[in-house]
Amino acid sequence: MRSPATGPGHFAMMDATLTDEPENLTLALLRKIEKKVDNLGAEFRAEIAETKSELRSEIHSLRADVASDMLNLEKRLGDQILGLRRAVVEYHSSAVGHGVLLNEFEERLRRLERHVGLPPETH
C-alpha cells in the first residue's frame, strides 16, 4: 500500500524543493562568502591605514633625527674650519714673517758687500 506522502504529486513537490534548495544553498553560501570578503576588505583597509599612519610617524621622527644630526655636523665642521683658518693665519703670519726677515737679511748682505767692496752675487 502506498502512503499518501508518496503519491504522484509528492514527487513533483520534491523535485521543486530539491531544485530550490541547491539554488538557495548556493546563494546563501555566496552571500556568506561575500560578507566574509567584505569584512576582510574592511580589516585590510583599516590595517593599511594604521600602517600608513605608523610609517608617517616614523618618517617624521627620522626627519627630526636627520635634521638634528645635520646641525651637529654643521657645528663640528664649523669648529674644524675655524681651527683650520686659525692654523692657516698663524702659518701665513709665520711664513710672511720669515719672508720679511729674509728680505731684511738680504738687504743687509748687499750693504755689507757694497761696504767691503765685494761684487754682488745673484741671490
User: Who's near 120: CB < 8 A, 6+ residues apart?
Assistant: 110, 113, 114
In angstroms, the CA 67 to CA 59 distance is 12
Per residue in 97-122, pLDDT tens?
676 677 788 888 888 888 888 887 76
The total domain count for the chain is 1
Q: What is the pTM of this model?
A: 0.43
Provide the 8-state DSSP code for 117: T
Per residue in 63-95, pLDDT tens?
999 999 999 999 999 899 888 888 888 887 777
C-alpha cell at 70: 645635520
Containing domain of residue 97, as a range? 11-116
Helix ranges, 1-123 (H): 8-116
C-alpha cell at 35: 560578507
Considering the domain boundaries, does residue 5 fall inside one? no
